[in-house]
Amino acid sequence: MAEAIQQLVLDTLDKFGTIHDTRTLVLPGYTDPAANHDSQIIILGALNSLSSRDMISYTTHETVSHVLTPEGAQIAVQGSHEARVWQALPHKGDGAPMAPKQLEERVGSETAKIGQGRAFKNKWIAKEGDGLVRLAPSIEDNTQVELREVDSTGTLKAGEKALAEMRKRKLIVQRKGQWFTVKKGPAFSTSIAKPETDLTIDMLATGSWKTSTYKKYNFEAEGLVTNGGALHPLLKVREEFRNIFLEMGFAEMPTSSFVESGFWCFDALFVPQQHPAREVQDTFYLSDPAESLPPPADYYERVSKVHEHGGYGSTGYRAPWSDAESRKLLLRTHTTASSASMLYKLAAKCRGEGEDKSARSAAAHGSGAQAKEGDDGFKPAKLFSIDRVFRNETMDATHLAEFHQVEGVVADRGLTLADLIGFMRVFFTKMGIENLRFKPAYNPYTEPSLEIFAFHPQLRKWVEVGNSGMFRPEMLEPMGFPKDVHVHGWGISLERPTMIRYGINNIRTLVGHKVSLESVENSPAVRF
Ligand code: PHE
């Protein structure tokens, strides 16, 4: 059909030079001109195809035409309600008048109701006793005739008044229409042979390239979608956190050491050696190698001393110190192990040692770049990390033996709990979380400690989003930090906001072999 119409357009142009009004075309398979809306839409398709090849050009004219409503269409086929009523009745004097009830059964209650009124008005029918009879010997169903006219021409010769009446009766509605004037284009030809899209060896060899028509390049075409790689949801959320940290002037800590010693994971943080978290249920210990290299001797001395006997204003745990416990190798249970070793490096100058390069370069990216170093060698720092940790937990829908922690520490003189809380508000606001609550908690290495809760508008409840606190002097002072240097830190899980964001309720669909690649590819960038 599409090609036949294109051919019709070309042939007509060939014969008459222009097509002034496409409503005069008689489409293949029809006897009447293509005056109605649908036909013009079909013609438009053919015109677009031809004009894209420069074979024709056309201009558009807007019209307002009319189409039938479902009721109008029914009348066009079956006749008006009044005609159907007249039809159903006997002629006057020709059999018994019809009772209204019977009429209703014959033509349906709606047609009986509407039709009677109009038929009386037209003097088509009359009452006789209790019944109804035909009055006019014959009728002309104008409504039906006019609706048929509208259906095929989109308008009425009778004019706007008649159209308005039909619209009022909700038998027709207006519809914007178009028709077209068509002229020959620069590449006009009566042949609609498909234009070439490629120059082939064959065309060069036979010389047919000289006479061929070519399809124009469409530089606006969008091209095929390429299937590139996609970030896993966890990595997308990690990127978001990372950007927030960088925006706030934090530097990223190196966290490549998944294996740590009991010393860095616990002792340096003033976690008692008898702490339940250190027991085999919670921590994965290595069997080969099972023992770490010794930590820096002086520092080790100070740490073991504060545990066993106290110091820096603390009574310590006063429990026997075990070197074996300290040297055990394990999979780190929190990234605070990395924070501890980073803070230790940061305090190198305060201990009178040379500045540690890795700490300096990390701090140089962050606030440390602007912050001034004091006489005691201390330089403020803001550090963060986002990496994997391991816990020997019973696995269920929300727990795996490994997960990611987002962690930050801020070291500066005279920091207070108010700084920590204020900082948290800014940090979480950047993630779109403004409604925060803080609850006193316990960590062996922070005092005070706060759990952070956020109101989740979708889940309509308070969810725990993080754990935080002011690091204890028992941890900071053995490292060599001056007394007035306070450090606050916090940790949050990466999986939890990701699961909430993506509506995932089983962690196994987020991590592991059950992850759906499709959802990874199609998930948009995220916000908690
Ligand atoms: N290490 C804590 C945890 O695993 C988080 C934390 C980091 C708390 C730093 C306080 C300070 O939950």
Nearest C-alpha neighbor of 65 from the set 130, 127, 137, 150: 150
Pocket perturbation via mutation, ligand 1, pick of 265, 271, 331, 334 by most ligand atoms within 8 A of CB = 334
DSSP string, 298-314: HHHHHHHHHHHT-BTTB
Pocket perturbation via mutation, ligand 1, pick of 467, 475, 494 by most ligand atoms within 8 A of CB = 467
| Residue 307, φ and ψ in degrees, nearest 5 | -65, -50
- For residue 91, the cross-strand partners are 134
Enter the tokens of residue 55.
Answer: 């074979």
Nearest C-alpha neighbor of 259 from the set 233, 287, 298: 287
Which atom number of ligand 1 is nearest to the Cα of residue 334?
Answer: 4
Pocket perturbation via mutation, ligand 1, pick of 253, 255, 407 by most ligand atoms within 8 A of CB = 407
The whole-number pLDDT of residue 119 equals: 93
Please check whether residue 427 is in contact with residue 402, taking contact to mean a CB–CB distance below 8 angstroms: no
| Residue-range domain boundaries for the chain | 236-353+377-522
SS3 state of residue 522: helix
DSSP string, 343-409: HHHHTTGGGTSPPPHHHHHHHHHTGGGTSPP-TTS---EEEEEEEEEE-----BTTB-SEEEEEEEE
Which atom number of ligand 1 is nearest to the Cα of residue 409?
Answer: 9
The percent of residues above 90 in pLDDT, for the chain, comes to 64
- For residue 198, the cross-strand partners are none
Lowest-pLDDT range, 98-102, 127-131, 345-349, 361-365?
361-365
- For residue 436, the cross-strand partners are 454
The whole-number pLDDT of residue 168 equals: 94
* Distance of alpha carbon 255 from alpha carbon 336, whole angstroms: 10
Indicate the length of the chain as a whole number.
Answer: 528
Look at strands 381-390 and 251-252 and give their pairing.
parallel
Q: How far from the centroid of its chain's Cα atoms is residue 33's Cα?
A: 49
The mean pLDDT of the chain is: 89
Q: How far, in Å, is the centroid of ligand 1 from the Cα of 339?
A: 10
pLDDT of 405-438, one tens digit each? 999 999 999 999 999 999 999 998 888 788 899 9
456 CB-contact burial (10 Å; exposed 0-12 / middle 13-18 / buried 19+): middle
* Distance of alpha carbon 281 from alpha carbon 286, whole angstroms: 13
Enter the tokens of residue 287.
Answer: 């069997």
User: For residue 405, how many C-alpha atoms fall within 13 Å in the half-sphere facing its CB?
Assistant: 27
Q: How far, in Å, is the centroid of ligand 1 from the Cα of 229?
A: 33
Q: How far, in Å, is the centroid of ligand 1 from the Cα of 241?
A: 16
Lowest-pLDDT range, 72-81, 405-414, 452-461?
452-461
The whole-number pLDDT of residue 358 equals: 66
Q: What residues flank ligand 1, with Cβ below 6 Å?
A: 334, 336, 407, 443, 446, 467-469, 489-491
pLDDT of 28-71, one tens digit each? 888 888 877 788 999 999 999 999 889 999 999 998 889 999 99
Nearest CA to ligand 1 atom 2: 491
The whole-number pLDDT of residue 242 equals: 95
Which atom number of ligand 1 is nearest to the Cα of residue 491?
Answer: 5
Enter the tokens of residue 326.
Answer: 């300290």
The whole-number pLDDT of residue 38 equals: 84
Please check whether residue 420 is in contact with residue 489, taking contact to mean a CB–CB distance below 8 angstroms: no
* Distance of alpha carbon 433 from alpha carbon 482, whole angstroms: 35
The whole-number pLDDT of residue 365 equals: 47
Superfamily of domain 236-353+377-522: Bira Bifunctional Protein; Domain 2 (3.30.930.10)
Please check whether residue 470 is in contact with residue 487, taking contact to mean a CB–CB distance below 8 angstroms: yes
Enter the tokens of residue 179.
Answer: 């028709």
Nearest CA to ligand 1 atom 4: 334
505/435: higher pLDDT: 435
pLDDT of 218-239, one tens digit each? 888 888 877 777 888 888 889 9
- For residue 58, the cross-strand partners are 182
* Distance of alpha carbon 456 from alpha carbon 450, whole angstroms: 19
Distances (CA, A) of 365 to 112, 343, 370: 88, 16, 10
Please check whether residue 178 is in contact with residue 40, taking contact to mean a CB–CB distance below 8 angstroms: yes
Enter the tokens of residue 525.
Answer: 């960038």
CB neighbour burial string for 49-64, b if at least 16 within 10 angstroms, e if fewer: bbeebebbebeeeeee
Nearest CA to ligand 1 atom 3: 491
* CA 257, 263, 268, 274 torsion-angle sign: positive
Please check whether residue 142 is in contact with residue 156, taking contact to mean a CB–CB distance below 8 angstroms: no
* Distance of alpha carbon 158 from alpha carbon 146, whole angstroms: 9
Enter the tokens of residue 69.
Answer: 């409503």
Total Cβ atoms within 10 A of residue 360: 17
* Distance of alpha carbon 439 from alpha carbon 455, whole angstroms: 14
